[in-house]
Structure 1
């Protein structure tokens, strides 16, 4: 059989499979017809999210030998205080005022790591202090450096208070590993790209994730806070600065609260909050000023995301303030497990360095279904690229057609837009379905709408640059 014939058979089989899956999922597809519907669903999600509760007993880390002088290594003191707290039924491990240097912290069940006013936990800049643990790195499972605060399979854990988590990263440490001169890299320094390529190869080959061993000498940067496969997780009140990579990254967790935190760093890939394959998540009253996405909802990359098959579902983003970042509310790109029931309300965004307001990014290497996205009462000063941005062509293509459907945006008010008002770029065989924009005004954009392959687009009382927005002629 000829190569051309093989290619045609492969393409035919692929589209047959896609049409079958599309039919299989069509009965589950939802189309909201009024604002009341998603608002009711959001409140049902809110009722499912409960803050963890802790025993009223404190364990001050100074009682275990910790010194807040900024020079003493306090890893053992943190470990001992957390172990004692957990063994005795839980409570608060208290960090008083001072600068406490430490290696990674492992958070155990029923422990609330509480930072008092003027308390700083400063994490080691020495990669040799970081043990190898089971983790996700950019949506791929592997053995790599522990996050600066890590937990696996624990229940009822929290980081609270008014102090600061300092990841201690800068262009002289951690950030240069990204391999970009703007972050301090030059040809005589190590970089992460070879290990990143190797991890992609191992994932594509479906190797045992626990045999994908990285860590020292591979330069895959750790995240700051990564509870993995945990239940009842909270991080609230604290300031987070200068993470080596992503800041808040719960993975495969259920019942997660991110409340009143302030996140700031302009390093490479310093996303603010990236819940991966999590269920029932509340991100409320937070401030993000980041070098990458402010909030990015994820569910795994390619083979790993599809193998695990856990979508991101039931997320509420409320009352957040977003400044610099590649996107304000982002879904993807590591989204192979899909995403559904994502609600964002009463948020503010404003920066000439904020690229997009709502961003959905996926591709046919990921696949998966992204559906039921509701955004309401969003006030935007400036942005750079697009207010609503959905693409199926982020990174390399593959053989797993993605689906994007049922998106409702209401009361979006933009003072000074960027290149596009609305940007949609999808496959002809898998158009973005049922995008509805209601009672919204976008001003100051160069191109009002650029839509390639969308169906069911509805514009209800929408103006762009002061004129009534019209559904593009190329939509069905």
Structure 2
């Protein structure tokens, strides 16, 4: 053994000792074959690298041959690292088959470029964490099993250019009622990464492939950074990309996500969240908000493509609140939707004769959005087909308050959207739109091709352009029971044979300025309902319209003033 107190070491002796060092595990980490039990003794004697040592999982018995189960070896390396005040657990080149592994405080799991952690195809190798509760609330109602999980831990990092492969196809059954090859299904399936009540989490630069469930699930955590991740999961119907629950101070950047279900779901009270410089594709939603209190959230500089559900979907149930949320600099190409905000039905949520507290949605902004909306097609590279609802085939931007619920202060600035068209006169004639604020498609085919807004107070449309790829008989914009709206610089296409370009129903206190009618129409604005009043049209180019306004369903001609 080298004497750490002997400062005068000959060059020959030093090189001899170094010849026995495993360089793959760090300069000061000697292999067990060289020093046997003296490996830890040497490290403890110097103490200079405490908390910074490297623990190669091969030194703990891992084979990496793609066949041998290496769960125990990986867990042993993590445990040793955690016990010695942290450091780096190294996954070197090789394919290491594992079941459930627990990551612990102060541990960095580094997966080398040619290293892969391969989730076992045997469902018996996975187990739930006793530290992660299951309940019906917003904590872990979807399951508490992870391929790699951490609970009540701090200072965790997963990094490297390697791969975590969940073999998710082994957890999908081709026949309903029959267990899949892995032998487990439902909430017993493992997530790629599962974090519960952790603080200071970093996951960066790794590839997450074919999860059996969601790829990254973060529950009740704080100070989370997810950077440069490559996520591919189209083998299970609910392959989510990111799924956040009740977490704060989270930052997602430079990630590429292609998944089958929600790409970035935020449930519970998610606050102080940024998502930037990412690309997303999915069958369902990209940004999915559901329940709880979501506030102080900024999404910017993202590309959304081939998304055949609804890229931005907010479902605010009674008792929930969504506030101060910004979406800016987004490009959406080949999507359906593309935006749906629903404020839940209060009466339907009453229990024991008590009416639930109404939900709140306010201060939501959309800035510099360019979107091409299409009719849905099969999701590329998905291993199974999807059926589409009529509301997905004929979609539009929907702001949907139900009963006495009002969305407040919703703004669209520099938003340009091209829609596929194809809407019929029968679809345009619908006035009784179902009062449902659930999934975006449940209201059926919206009667507008561009924007349908119901029960909104404080709506701003500034420099919004609505066009269609093929003729559509539906109005470009419908305001139904909207108060205090500013429509400035709206440019829209319509049809000469359509009823009108715009339709306002029981809507009041609206200023329309700098309106541009892009194609010939019979009527610019049809006003309906006796509660419609104080609507002003100030300037713009209406030269392609036969009439500026018409009135129906009890609306008074004095409700509109044309300057």
Distance change >3 Å, CA 380–CA 120, structure 1 → 2: same
Corresponding position: 1:185 with 2:175 = yes
- Aligned twin of 1:422: 397
Distance change >3 Å, CA 217–CA 260, structure 1 → 2: closer
Distance change >3 Å, CA 276–CA 140, structure 1 → 2: closer
Instruction: Show structure 2 runs of 5+ residues with no match.
Output: 1-49, 351-355, 376-393, 422-448, 470-474, 484-563
- Aligned twin of 2:385: none
Corresponding position: 1:235 with 2:235 = no
Conservation of the 8 A alpha-carbon contact between 2:56 and 2:77: yes
1:54-453 residue pairs with structure 2 within 5 A?
55-133=51-129, 134-135=132-133, 139=138, 141=140, 146-170=145-169, 173-176=170-173, 184-189=174-179, 220-266=188-234, 267-299=236-268, 311-332=269-290, 335=291, 337-351=292-306, 353-364=307-318, 367-384=319-336, 386-392=337-343, 397-399=348-350, 400=356, 401-417=358-374, 419-446=394-421, 447-453=449-455
Q: Which has the larger radius of gyration?
A: 2
Q: What's the secondary structure of 1:62's corresponding residue?
A: helix
Conservation of the 8 A alpha-carbon contact between 1:377 and 1:411: yes
Conservation of the 8 A alpha-carbon contact between 2:450 and 2:477: no
Counterparts of 1:327 and 1:358 in 2: how far apart (Å)? 6
- Aligned twin of 1:4: none
Counterparts of 2:150 and 2:177 in 1: how far apart (Å)? 36
Shift of 1:420: 3.2
Counterparts of 2:463 and 2:97 in 1: how far apart (Å)? 55
Conservation of the 8 A alpha-carbon contact between 2:139 and 2:219: no
Counterparts of 1:393 and 1:67 in 2: how far apart (Å)? 53
Q: What's the secondary structure of 1:224's corresponding residue?
A: strand
Map Cα deviations across residues 72-102 of structure 1 (whole Å, 9 max, x no partner).
1111111110011111121111101111001
Distance change >3 Å, CA 462–CA 226, structure 1 → 2: same
Conservation of the 8 A alpha-carbon contact between 2:316 and 2:361: no
Counterparts of 1:360 and 1:120 in 2: how far apart (Å)? 36
Distance change >3 Å, CA 175–CA 140, structure 1 → 2: farther
Structure with greater helix percent: 1
Instruction: State the structure with bigger RCO (CA 8 A, min sep 6), 1 or 2.
Output: 1
Counterparts of 1:154 and 1:275 in 2: how far apart (Å)? 17
- Aligned twin of 2:7: none
- Aligned twin of 1:456: 458
- Aligned twin of 1:47: none
Conservation of the 8 A alpha-carbon contact between 2:243 and 2:265: yes
- Aligned twin of 1:22: none
Counterparts of 2:242 and 2:86 in 1: how far apart (Å)? 26
Distance change >3 Å, CA 217–CA 404, structure 1 → 2: closer
Shift of 1:472: 2.1
Q: TM-score, normalised by structure 2?
A: 0.62
Instruction: Show structure 1 runs of 5+ residues with no match.
Output: 1-53, 177-183, 192-214, 300-310
Shift of 1:218: 7.4
Conservation of the 8 A alpha-carbon contact between 2:368 and 2:415: yes
Q: What's the secondary structure of 2:168's corresponding residue?
A: coil
Counterparts of 2:201 and 2:117 in 1: how far apart (Å)? 19
Q: What's the secondary structure of 1:474's corresponding residue?
A: strand
Map Cα deviations across residues 288-329 of structure 1 (whole Å, 9 max, x no partner).
111101111111xxxxxxxxxxx1100000001012231122
Distance change >3 Å, CA 142–CA 298, structure 1 → 2: closer
Shift of 1:434: 1.0
Map Cα deviations across residues 249-292 of structure 1 (whole Å, 9 max, x no partner).
11110000110101111121111001110010001010111110
For the aligned residue pairs, the C-alpha RMSD in angstroms reads: 2.8
Counterparts of 2:413 and 2:220 in 1: how far apart (Å)? 34
414-423 vs 122-131, greater mean Cα deviation: 414-423
Conservation of the 8 A alpha-carbon contact between 1:357 and 1:383: yes
- Aligned twin of 2:441: none
Conservation of the 8 A alpha-carbon contact between 1:163 and 1:238: yes
Structure with greater strand percent: 2
Q: What's the secondary structure of 1:275's corresponding residue?
A: strand
Q: TM-score, normalised by structure 1?
A: 0.73
